[in-house]
Chains A and B, each alone.
Chain A
């Protein structure tokens, strides 16, 4: 059995191990399944773990490809998918009781592409129900623990993916990000996570929360890992009308470029009141590192930042209220016992199948779209969205990338915000505007507050994922935050 030190390697290091025949994909898969078996009961990062037979069959096929010299850089590497990506023949629950019994007859395009690259699927990770949440406490399948501190949340909604990577249950996982759901858990769990430009990665088979904001992306230890993953995930998909038909660059090719002359903008709105002192200090250190790498720093303004959360909590719930109408107990998903009539079927199936936060957002969204309120809420929010987008475009006329905190605080305690939804929403204050603008952003580990990691957010212009990954990779060449692993006392 492979040792922990090997299993805690990054995706890139494991790829080298496979390609130089230090171990096989079957050995790696076996070892990680055993590690999941041992650690997951303490972390609850997985909702479903692949059965050994199926995972080992994928690994054996990958080993054959490696032996035949037909491997891609990802062949034989294990991963996990956020349980919101449809997996053919494998339950896809979205963290909801509503889909406890839903087994999709198709794969998400992301799942399909990573499988085609030869990756081995070890299972489906926990999440806030239908990706609605910032702490992973909204899952029907229980709370996920932060591997760095079991009293802390892992962040959300892709908390299971972040925790699974942080604890080295898998070297990489997929996530989705509607208002920060890749970046904030990546920050809380000390890993690197990228939300690509809206339209860069296909949404086919990725169960919708808010269609105009949802975007899938990679989560792993390093920017280099994310670059390899994004190479396979990105690209046009005729099955998704919002997916952009645009060439995909090799995201690995530009990682090594130096940062001489890079212009970094610091949005002043991201460094104001409410920012935790440890986060502010960590950022200051990180900025110094970038200066030493040749970058120049200036302050910029994103003047509509304060409107991002209100606009988001109109648009996202509005779309969600419509997207989640299909869960009616008629064709699939949860159906109540002995419905008396149609209305009873609808009411009880949805009442029993959805959790409190999902219901809250459906109600908010339904209200915002109602006759007489549409102009005041939905239309106004769309106008704000355009202003926010313009803020970013203006900033990118002056600078190459923007930097700031991913979240205002390090991971907070489990239960700290569950009684106050608005306080919970404020956790996404620095991530939400990015989704409204559709631009790409990543979070990389850049410090710690006690045991709890701190994330640095790097934001780029549309389709500038390559630059973000380059900027993050150069930081990781001279720092070690991304190499740190939590001490797991079980």
Chain B
């Protein structure tokens, strides 16, 4: 049987506010345990929450960026459950009336394929603290620094059908929140976390299968692996005559598998009700317009501009606009060299390969955008050829602080374009290889092209790679033709 997976994602984005969503305590990551939790975060008796206006503005900006309807009235509710790192015994969240209503995103999967994913809603809520089970000799330590950190939970419709689509969606969300500057998007520090709802059904069936929720997957790679595992698990289960049980599962990256955490029957009744300590958040149109005007160019807009103004392909444009840092780098390279295609090729090719190899982010590239732009300039103005350019790039990567021109000069890589000099080398090569010249003369016309490659190689070698390949080809062809006469 042909199976179709149905996937919806809940993405938790930590908002980059200075202070917490309902208190003035700092949100900085990595402080000593419980030093960034004030009386409100600790849930002491008598304290009251006050909404952080910054968090509201960030949520609205996100909503505007994903074509959502912004709610002019949204309501904070209490989600009640007991847990040691949940100080008040409830999480303040939004349920029936979230701040961001339905929206959508178009993803570019490859040169030919785009994917439309609908967003169900996004809501504001506070994060809980952390329970630390190690280092406390059988007891549990509670760190409440994270308690009250603002989160935006973005809930998609079940519109995705493969792990690849889910990852593309997650990357698009990541790009948007980092472009907007509303989150640092740092998945390793938990600034972005993802729950995936996965079900399978026979292809062509319209009703949904029973879903499982995979909790807290913290990297693009793990999202892909966890979803693929879960799809396979459900298909095998059904094909063996079993039945998928609605449950929450955890992904174990070490074993690359998901494991049952709790079933629906064991699920909490959260007893949601409107938080009586907070008034509904009421926004007027002018405020929403004001935030709309502050939006930066978004990934999809940048992508369109790269295609229409710079002539890039859809795929190149989507790769280069996926992160603001990469797009900025590319645009700076382009500013220096003034050739978008060459800039795109270098950034997506040589530079990305090196970054991947060394496990570096674009921000940490040892070759600056100016250095790379200048290098490309030297290719375009024929100062160096492509082969020498790779050598210059390798040197730029390894030794910081030099310019491309300095390396070209120091390593003598300046391209020889002087026809007299090249002719002299050609003459020398032809004189040294009389046997090959005779073979060339005797060969069939259609074989000569291939034999010519031998002479080009010899000439380039003799010039230590600096001879202009076009000039070599032209002059050599002329010389050999003359010998035939």
Q: Which of B48, B49, B87 has a CB less than 8 Å from the CB of A331?
A: B87
- Residue pair B45, A330 in contact (C-beta under 8 Å): no
Please judge, given known A-B contacts A211-B277, A241-B278, A374-B273, whether A86 and B45 are in contact too, CB under 8 Å. yes
Of residues 133 through 157 on chain B, the ones whose CB sits less than 8 Å from some CB of chain A are: 142
Of residues 240 through 286 on chain B, the ones whose CB sits less than 8 Å from some CB of chain A are: 269, 271-273, 276-279
Say yes or no: is B209 at the interface (Cβ < 8 Å to chain A): no
Nearest to B43 among chain A residues (CB) is A326
Docked CA distance A192–B42 (Å): 37
- Chain A facing B: main interface SS: loop
Q: Which of B48, B84, B87, B269 has a CB less than 8 Å from the CB of A240?
A: B48
Docked CA distance A210–B396 (Å): 67
- Chain B facing A: main interface SS: loop
By a CB distance below 8 angstroms, the chain A residues around B277 are 208, 211, 241-242
Say yes or no: is B374 at the interface (Cβ < 8 Å to chain A): no
- Residue pair A378, B273 in contact (C-beta under 8 Å): yes
- Residue pair A331, B45 in contact (C-beta under 8 Å): no
Q: Which of A85, A328, A369 has a CB less than 8 Å from the CB of B273?
A: A369
- Residue pair B82, A328 in contact (C-beta under 8 Å): yes
By a CB distance below 8 angstroms, the chain B residues around A210 are 276
Q: Which of A242, A322, A346 has a CB less than 8 Å from the CB of B279?
A: A242
Most buried by A among B39, B46, B78, B82: B46
Say yes or no: is B457 at the interface (Cβ < 8 Å to chain A): no
Nearest to A315 among chain B residues (CB) is B276
Of residues 53 through 96 on chain A, the ones whose CB sits less than 8 Å from some CB of chain B are: 85-86, 92, 94
By a CB distance below 8 angstroms, the chain B residues around A268 are none
Docked CA distance A206–B47 (Å): 8
Say yes or no: is A105 at the interface (Cβ < 8 Å to chain B): yes
Say yes or no: is A99 at the interface (Cβ < 8 Å to chain B): yes
- Residue pair A208, B46 in contact (C-beta under 8 Å): yes
- Residue pair B45, A99 in contact (C-beta under 8 Å): yes
- Residue pair A330, B84 in contact (C-beta under 8 Å): yes
Say yes or no: is B132 at the interface (Cβ < 8 Å to chain A): no
Docked CA distance A207–B43 (Å): 11
- Residue pair A203, B48 in contact (C-beta under 8 Å): yes
- Residue pair B45, A370 in contact (C-beta under 8 Å): no
Least CB distance from B68 to A in Å reads 25
- Residue pair A241, B269 in contact (C-beta under 8 Å): no
Say yes or no: is B208 at the interface (Cβ < 8 Å to chain A): no
Say yes or no: is B50 at the interface (Cβ < 8 Å to chain A): yes
- Residue pair B271, A370 in contact (C-beta under 8 Å): yes
Please judge, given known A-B contacts A369-B273, A378-B273, whether A322 and B80 are in contact too, CB under 8 Å. yes
Please judge, given known A-B contacts A211-B276, A241-B277, whether A325 and B48 are in contact too, CB under 8 Å. no
Least CB distance from A381 to B in Å reads 11
Nearest to A367 among chain B residues (CB) is B271
Say yes or no: is A104 at the interface (Cβ < 8 Å to chain B): yes
Please judge, given known A-B contacts A346-B82, A374-B273, A378-B273, whether A239 and B50 are in contact too, CB under 8 Å. yes
Nearest to A98 among chain B residues (CB) is B45
Docked CA distance A475–B397 (Å): 91
Nearest to B76 among chain A residues (CB) is A241
Say yes or no: is A177 at the interface (Cβ < 8 Å to chain B): no
Please judge, given known A-B contacts A241-B48, A332-B44, A374-B273, whether A322 and B87 are in contact too, CB under 8 Å. no
Say yes or no: is B51 at the interface (Cβ < 8 Å to chain A): yes
- Residue pair B82, A325 in contact (C-beta under 8 Å): yes
By a CB distance below 8 angstroms, the chain B residues around A85 are 46
Q: Which of B47, B48, B89, B269 has a CB less than 8 Å from the CB of A328?
A: B89
Least CB distance from B350 to A in Å reads 55
By a CB distance below 8 angstroms, the chain B residues around A205 are 46-47
Nearest to A214 among chain B residues (CB) is B276
Say yes or no: is B414 at the interface (Cβ < 8 Å to chain A): no
Docked CA distance A208–B44 (Å): 11
Docked CA distance A105–B39 (Å): 8
Least CB distance from B37 to A in Å reads 10
Of residues 27 through 82 on chain B, the ones whose CB sits less than 8 Å from some CB of chain A are: 39, 42-51, 78, 80, 82
By a CB distance below 8 angstroms, the chain B residues around A208 are 45-46, 277
- Residue pair A331, B78 in contact (C-beta under 8 Å): no
Say yes or no: is A47 at the interface (Cβ < 8 Å to chain B): no
Say yes or no: is A342 at the interface (Cβ < 8 Å to chain B): yes
Q: Which of B48, B80, B90, B271 has a CB less than 8 Å from the CB of A204?
A: B48
Docked CA distance A94–B142 (Å): 26
Docked CA distance A94–B50 (Å): 24
- Residue pair A207, B45 in contact (C-beta under 8 Å): yes
- Residue pair A322, B50 in contact (C-beta under 8 Å): no
Q: Which of B45, B50, B84, B269 has a CB less than 8 Å from the CB of A92?
A: B45
Docked CA distance A274–B44 (Å): 41
Give per-residue flags for A292-322: 1 if the beta carbon is below 8 A from chain B beta carbons, else 0.
0000000000000000000000000011011
By a CB distance below 8 angstroms, the chain B residues around A374 are 271, 273
Q: Which of A86, A99, A322 has a CB less than 8 Å from the CB of B90?
A: A322
Most buried by B among A85, A102, A238, A326: A326
Say yes or no: is B121 at the interface (Cβ < 8 Å to chain A): no
Least CB distance from B380 to A in Å reads 60
Nearest to B24 among chain A residues (CB) is A239
- Residue pair A325, B50 in contact (C-beta under 8 Å): no
Docked CA distance A238–B49 (Å): 10
Docked CA distance A326–B277 (Å): 15
Of residues 444 through 482 on chain A, the ones whose CB sits less than 8 Å from some CB of chain B are: none
Docked CA distance A95–B48 (Å): 21
Nearest to A206 among chain B residues (CB) is B46
- Residue pair B80, A369 in contact (C-beta under 8 Å): yes
Docked CA distance A370–B270 (Å): 8
- Residue pair B45, A369 in contact (C-beta under 8 Å): no
Say yes or no: is B118 at the interface (Cβ < 8 Å to chain A): no
Docked CA distance A52–B300 (Å): 71
By a CB distance below 8 angstroms, the chain B residues around A241 are 48-51, 277-279
Least CB distance from B83 to A in Å reads 9
Nearest to B278 among chain A residues (CB) is A241
- Residue pair A331, B43 in contact (C-beta under 8 Å): yes
Nearest to A332 among chain B residues (CB) is B44
Nearest to A204 among chain B residues (CB) is B48
Least CB distance from B320 to A in Å reads 44
Say yes or no: is A212 at the interface (Cβ < 8 Å to chain B): yes
Of residues 405 through 460 on chain A, the ones whose CB sits less than 8 Å from some CB of chain B are: none
Please judge, given known A-B contacts A208-B46, A330-B142, whether A322 and B39 are in contact too, CB under 8 Å. no
A–B Cβ pairs within 8 angstroms, 29 of them = A86-B45, A92-B46, A94-B45, A104-B44, A106-B39, A106-B47, A205-B47, A208-B277, A238-B50, A240-B50, A241-B50, A241-B277, A242-B279, A319-B276, A321-B80, A322-B89, A322-B90, A324-B89, A325-B82, A328-B82, A328-B89, A330-B87, A330-B142, A331-B43, A331-B44, A331-B142, A332-B42, A374-B273, A378-B273
Apart from A104-B45, A207-B45, 18 more pairs, CB < 8 Å: A86-B45, A86-B46, A94-B45, A99-B45, A203-B48, A204-B46, A207-B46, A239-B50, A240-B50, A242-B276, A321-B80, A322-B90, A322-B271, A322-B273, A325-B82, A326-B44, A342-B84, A371-B269
Residues of A within 8 A of B (CB): 85-86, 92, 94, 99, 102, 104-106, 108, 203-208, 210-212, 238-242, 318-319, 321-322, 324-326, 328, 330-332, 342, 346, 366, 369-371, 374, 378
Leading 9 A-B pairs by shortest Cβ distance: A325-B89, A211-B276, A212-B276, A369-B271, A205-B46, A326-B43, A207-B45, A86-B46, A207-B46
Residues of B within 8 A of A (CB): 39, 42-51, 78, 80, 82, 84, 87-90, 142, 269, 271-273, 276-279
